Structure 1
Amino acid sequence: MIPLRRYGRRCPMHSHQENKPRKPRAPWRLEPLRKRLAWFTLACLVVATAGSIAFHRLGALPTGAVPQSTQILDSEGTVIATLAGGVNRRPVKLADISPWLVKATLAVEDRRFYEHSGVDVRGLARAAWVDVRHLSKREGASTLTQQLARNLYLSHQRTWSRKLKEAWYAARLEQTYSKDEILQMYLNQIYYGHGAYGAEAAARMYFGKSAKDLTLSESALLAGIPKGPRYYSPHLHPAEAEKRRHTVLQAMLETKEITREQATAASRDKPVVKPLPEEPDRNAPYFADYVKRIAVERLGIDERLLNEGGLSITTTLDMNMQRAAEEAVKRGFPKDSQLQTALVAMDPRNGYIKAMVGGLSYKRNQYNRVFATTRQPGSSFKPIVYATALEQRVVTPSTRFRSEPTIFYYDNNREIYRPSNFNDRYFNTEISLRQAIAASDNIYAVNTIMQVGPEEVMSTARRLGITSPLKAVPSLALGTFPVSPFEMASAYSVFANGGSKTSALAILRIQDRDGKVLYEAHPHSTPVMPPSVAYVTTRLLQSVFDAGGTAHRVAGMIKRPVAGKTGTTDSDAWFVGYTPELTAAVWVGYDRGRSLGSGDAHRAAPIFADFLEGALKEKPPTDFPMPEGVVSVYVDPGNGMLATSGCPKPVLETFLVGTEPTEMCSVHGEAEADKESSGANGGGWWKKMRRMWHW
């Protein structure tokens, strides 16, 4: 047994202030106010602390809060997951905890533990001074006893009133229990992440051994976790956990609990951490994990409070849509497939995430591929290119480029780019934008980005919600830079929502065990693209379901207006699409980037179609609302000119007002019957149709 040492006072280090530049003083009007506030606050804290120590006998310690499970609910209030339903805690005596862990904990959490009486007045004064000078609550200065009091009796809100209560309870604990008893309670109470409370449970979970058998290296790792159980988790952030372990070892060296040789040896001895135990079955497990991450990392909910505070978290998930997603994924793959997938669906009108599938089996692999930023979107990125060109009025639906092998020069003609079409299939003639989208012609896409400029495309991508790294090169048009399915669903939602972006939401409301609202979402939309551009892009993307389109094979599965785009690379298959009320992105591929087989490359679109109809089966079909600023006219698909009655297969095409063709087709001419009637009734049928769709 390594004896514990009670810490004495440490000699102050020489500061050498004469060598440091003086910090600029605050504005003269604020400096006196800050000083007065600082001294007033210090006086209040000293009086309150002294009062708590002097009169603590007047009140008994309250009963410690009983841990309650937090529930995650779908949008209708149905429980989809329960967090920490059985708290992992194994109380042990202090003698059954490794002295290395005790020393490491004291060195990094409370070096003067055996000197103070529950409250470190010097540390508290220093924290108050920093808080007042900076007009914020940036200092902690909680002793180990105060942390125990907070965990047992208080919330984790960073307020001065809570700090005063914390000091009161800490003083009462010091009067009621011995130092070793307090230390024992602390080491049995503190949260070490992943549902483990106390040193014994943590030692068994991370290292598969009892707390009394922990080595110095393992103890340093464990002692560093409570400061940020998620951030310093060796499972979630191994690099940060390793840095924290070295910090703990350095603290032990500074307090002379270990020698430099021991510190060096422990630094080299990296602990072997056990895999986390498999979680039981639950609804929407990938989504539940995402909700936990958002609550802790974005909303600032304390992880201990999240796991045992009895919170109620109402989410945006629609369980009917979630089941439709899971069933579509299951039907889309053969049994025991080695492929992986991701599906995320959201309501484009408010950003609510409605369904999320992060892989084929959560039990086998908890990695959520919805947020994987290692996958090339391929041609599913092209709508961003075309929307940019439409908005800049560089191209229109009638703009024609020749589909044939082409060499492109860029960077002042110093670089060459030779794109090719899938299987080297080309039209070998001029094609329209609609034809290019339907057939996913790469040459047309590169011609477009060369016309509008890669920088403009990148700007549009950022506006739509693409945050992954991109480069301003011609290959950007073909989706060669990895993005996540989540980003693609967010970007397409702007098209579906008429050009307005609403940030994705998973959590609507968080309430504590008493029903008090701790957080409530307030979604709002921001226009990032003209509605007319979003609408024209949508009309063009509907062509992928037409005869000859890349998604024509699934057109019969969908019974409502829908737009979307396929995307295929050597190792990734995508389909991203939407209706007015739902956007979904589907990715299929292998985790290690293995090449897809010919059959596997076509799995994404059927999964999308199956999911869409299942998710919206109770909702009637709705069309995309037409905004102002667009006009629909009949054109000849062969040349893009206004169709005449002689054109054999005219198509109704939608344009931004002012970009529609004005010349009549000169190839086919007017039918004889229409020529004769045009003088009598003022024009043929095609002229009436030109006017019928004008806004």
Structure 2
Amino acid sequence: MNKPTAKPHKPGSKNKRRRTRFALLREQLLPRSRALTRLARRLGIAAALILALTAGFLLYLRIQSLPASSISQTSQIYDLHGSLIDTFHTGQNRKSVALADISPHLIEATVAIEDRRFYQHLGFDVKGMTRAALVNLEHMSTKQGASTLTQQLARNLYLTHERTWQRKLKEAVYTIQLEMNYSKDEILGLYLNQIYYGHGAYGIEAASQMYFGKHASRLSLAESAMLAGIPKGPKYYSPYMDMKNAKDRQKTILQAMVEGGRISQAEADEAFREVLAFKPLAADGSGGFAPYFRDYVRQIAVDVLGIDEARLSEGGVHIYTTLDPDAQKAAEQAVKEGMPPGSEQQAALVSIDPRTGYVKAMVGGRNYKTNQYNRALAGTRQPGSSFKPILYLTALENGMTPVTPFRSAPTVFTYDGGRKTYQPHNYNNKYTGGFINMREAIASSDNIYAVNTVMSVGADKVIEMARKLGIDSPMRPVPSLALGTFPVSPLEMASAFGTLAAGGVHVKPVAILRIEDSKGEVLYQAQPEAQRVVDAAHAYVLTSMMESVFETGGTGNRVAAMIKRPIAGKTGTTSSDAWLVGYTPELATAVWVGYDKGRALTKAEEHRAAPIFARYTEQALAAVPPKMFPIPEGVVGVYINPASGKLASLRCSGSRLEMFVRGTEPTEICGAAETDVSPGTSDGGSSADEAAKRSWLDHLKRWWNH
């Protein structure tokens, strides 16, 4: 069988086929290659244009002059009548120094905490901005910022602190110009001479002199770390305002210096332990009229109303407040006269118009120049028996009346399901041994009656009442609540008693009426926040009983002769605190005296709150005619026999006009059948008008006797 012969191989045919494939591939790729070439050419042109535009923009910025620095304007604070009280600073306390005349410790501390990559970036820390953005995204809030020292300098020199995109764009442009026109050391020197260190001190030299009485060149590591932390928030990190916050910030800065390799851990620890010697804050640095009130206003403006602190200090802001200058002068004078010279005992007074909530006067201590701590706002003091009216108001709303009896005798109370006991004692261990009523308990400040009351109505309800009256400080539902064992602030107590003075209407305390910017545009306008929280009849019945505090046998009787008008109030005394909180229809005032360190009070020191209260109240209301507390609908006055709490009659000796919420007055007649009628009453009770007349006559008799 013949085998098929193979086709003859033609030389070059394989190469021809390969060339054909290459040609086809080239024809396919050539358009793409040309497209890529065109794209690359266009990108190159675009890049060149961008570079050219960027270079042109930078050249433009290079030849442009930086704007003149913005001039700070003094912000002013006005009283209730529109008269100037004070300024937040009387001009910038500033003295510029060369960078070489600033302690290297201060320079390193500032760079470590404010901008650790200052000498590496070109005005913007991209790495820092990325890190801050990730942290903020993680927490869904602005937890970290990433402004460089150059950005901060641009903002402080040329711009306001408003939060707008336009301002941020300008800040970026000025930052670039600063970096182009100045060296890093020059920028740092400008920054350290510009930044605000609190209490009117601008620049590190002024701050060093104010805080430590030395030139900035002589600052130690510990002093430098302390000062470097203040600009972030002078109100929070100033050692004059809050030493704990200042020390915490100092520790953070020292640790940042360690992490940056600027100091060792041992040096940081030694600096943190160093006890710093601060100069007393000079009067012209932060004095003026009503300085504690001024600080309170600033705190509200920044923390509550959101006014930028730098704008408040330098932006020409006008703040119109509720301060009554006559009342403030009376408050300062009363505190001064009520405390003996040389004593370390402190005092605080805050006074509110119960009808409007206006804070009329505030004294936070005896000497603002030496101590700026505002005790009028400090919720660190036990109110003692001055808290009891809140308890008794709760009791009135829950069925008790002014004649509800409890025995005044040593008593052991059990609570928490019988697992715990509580044994209160009366002041000086004085007990009547018999039954007393609510009016007598308020006047004599009987502790046994108070604890019996809280056990009857429930401590939870008392706390609920305190919240309605404006007290926000923490409390627990235990029997000792009745004796005021949980700390509150004088401002809270004045606000709560103001609710009683206003017949049960709580008006939130107001210190700022209006804020205007330098152009007169209104930034904030106060809106009244009044709410009825207590029935007017219950509030009045309690007020009537609290008037007994200033009558014979009452704990405030010693100052009754100093007060020439109807007054209701309550004293309070603990081992380290003494109070008198009281009110007229026009003014509710809380006075506290004690020691900052909680030192025990002597008998004489316990009695200093009441005269301050009395002296202030009379002087503050000197131009106001005395007024009775108005008797609202739903109140009846009946004559009762104090010993039995029943309606008075000729068969029982002794009678007294007592006020009741209608429907809660007694119906049983003392020592007689129910058909008898008590003298001086009609159908078992006198009218409210008759009660008012008798109450007024009682006041006139008391004033005449004094």
Q: How many Å separate the matches in 1 of 2:369 and 2:119? A: 46
SS in 2 for 1:369: coil
Number of residue pairs the alignment of both structures matches: 637
SS in 2 for 1:282: coil
- Aligned partner of 1:81 among 86, 97, 101: 86
Instruction: Tell me how far apart the structure 2 counterparts of residues 254 and 582 of structure 1 sit (CA, whole Å).
Output: 57
Aligned to 1:455: 460
Change (3 A) 1:401 1:51: farther
Distance 2:105 2:600 in 1: 50
Aligned to 2:382: 376
Residue type matched to 1:187 in 2?
L
Give the Å deviation of 1:196.
2.0
Superposed displacement of residue 268, structure 1: 5.1
Larger radius of gyration: 2
Paired residue type of 1:306: L
Pick from 196, 200, 206 the counterpart of residue 201 of structure 1: 206
Q: Aligned equivalents of 2:237 and 2:428: distance in 1?
A: 49
- Residue number in structure 2 paired with 1:223: 228
Residue 35 of structure 1 corresponds to: none
Match of 1:68?
73
Deviations 1:191-211 (A, max 9, x none): 122322222222333344332
TM-score by length of 2: 0.82
Residue number among 311, 314, 318 corresponding to 1:312 in the alignment: 318
Instruction: Tell me the CA shift for residue 121 of structure 1.
Output: 5.6
Query: Is it true that 1:584 corresponds to 2:589 in the alignment?
Result: yes
Q: Which residue of 2 aligns with 1:656?
A: 661
Shift of 1:94: 1.8
SS at match of 2:658: strand
> Are positions 1:330 and 2:325 aligned together?
no
Q: Which residue of 2 aligns with 1:417?
A: 422
SS at match of 2:152: helix
Residue number among 486, 495, 502 corresponding to 1:490 in the alignment: 495
Of 678, 686, 689, which residue of structure 1 is paired with 2:681?
686
Instruction: Specify the SS of the correspondent of 2:154.
Output: helix
Partner of 2:283: 279
Q: Which residue of 1 aligns with 2:448?
A: 443
Aligned equivalent of 2:564: 559
- Name 1:550's counterpart in structure 2: 555
Q: 2:701 aligns to what?
A: none
Q: Is the 8 A contact 2:637 2:685 kept in 1?
A: yes
Range that drifts further, 244-253 or 527-536:
244-253
Cα offsets for 1:435-468 (capped at 9, x unmatched) = 2212222221121111112222222223323333
Inter-partner Cα distance in structure 2 for 1:454 and 1:249: 48
Residue in structure 2 matched with residue 603 of structure 1 by the alignment: 608
1:9-47 C-alpha deviation (Å, 9 max, x unpaired): xxxxxxxxxxxxxxxxxxxxxxxxxxxxxxxxxxxxx9x
User: Are the equivalent residues in 1 in contact too, given 2:241–2:372 (CA < 8 A)?
Assistant: no
Partners of 2:604 and 2:242 lie apart in 1 by 37
- Alignment of structure 1 residues 288-367 onto 2, 5 Å: 288-367=294-373
> 1:618-650: per-residue Cα shift (whole Å, max 9, x none)?
122333333344333332222122334655443
In structure 2, do the counterparts of structure 1 residues 307 and 271 end up closer, same or farther at CA, with 3 Å as the change threshold? farther
TM-score normalized with structure 1 length: 0.83
1:503-518 aligned at under 5 Å gives the runs 503-518=508-523
Q: Secondary structure at the match of 1:354?
A: strand
Are the equivalent residues in 2 in contact too, given 1:645–1:670 (CA < 8 A)? no
Partner amino acid, structure 2, of 1:277: L
2: CA distance between counterparts of 1:583 and 1:445? 23
* Aligned-pair CA distance for 1:339: 3.4
Is 1:242 aligned with 2:242?
no
The DSSP-based 3-state class of the residue aligned with 2:542 is helix
Distance 1:151 1:448 in 2: 60
2:681 alignment partner, SS class: helix
Q: 1:114 to 1:78 in 2, by over 3 A?
A: same
CA offset digits 1:168-198 (Å, max 9, x no partner) = 2222323333333222211111112232222
Q: CA deviation at 1:576?
A: 0.7
**What is the Cα deviation at residue 427 of structure 1?**
2.5
| CA distance 1:50–1:352, shift in 2 (3 Å) | farther
Determine the C-alpha separation between the residues in 2 that align with 1:259 and 1:331. Answer: 52
Kept in 2: contact 1:403–1:444 (CA 8 A)? yes
Distance 1:102 1:451 in 2: 65
Deviation at 1:107, TM superposition (A): 3.2
1:510–1:518 contact (8 Å) kept in structure 2? yes
* Matching residue's letter, 2:219: L
Match of 1:154 in 2: 159
Q: Taking structure 1 as reference, are residues 64 and 350 closer, same or farther at Cα in structure 2, changes over 3 Å only?
A: same
Q: Is the 8 A contact 1:464 1:501 kept in 2?
A: yes
Label 1:427 to 1:101 Cα distance change in 2 as closer, same or farther (>3 A): closer
How much has 1:126 moved relative to structure 2? 7.3
Residue identity matched to 2:90: G
CA gap of 1:464–1:131, structure 2 versus 1, over 3 A, is same
* Structure 2 unmatched runs, 5+: 1-50, 692-706
The 1:164/1:432 distance shift into structure 2, 3 A limit, reads same
The amino acid of 1:72's aligned partner reads: I
Separation in structure 2 between the aligned mates of residue 115 and residue 121 of structure 1, nearest angstrom: 11
Which residue does 1:526 correspond to in 2?
531
Match of 2:393 among 361, 364, 387: 387
Task: Show CA shifts across 1:108-144 (max 9, x none).
Answer: 3234434444344665677779889998766633222
Instruction: Indicate if the aligned counterparts of 1:69 and 1:309 stay in contact, CA closer than 8 A.
Output: yes
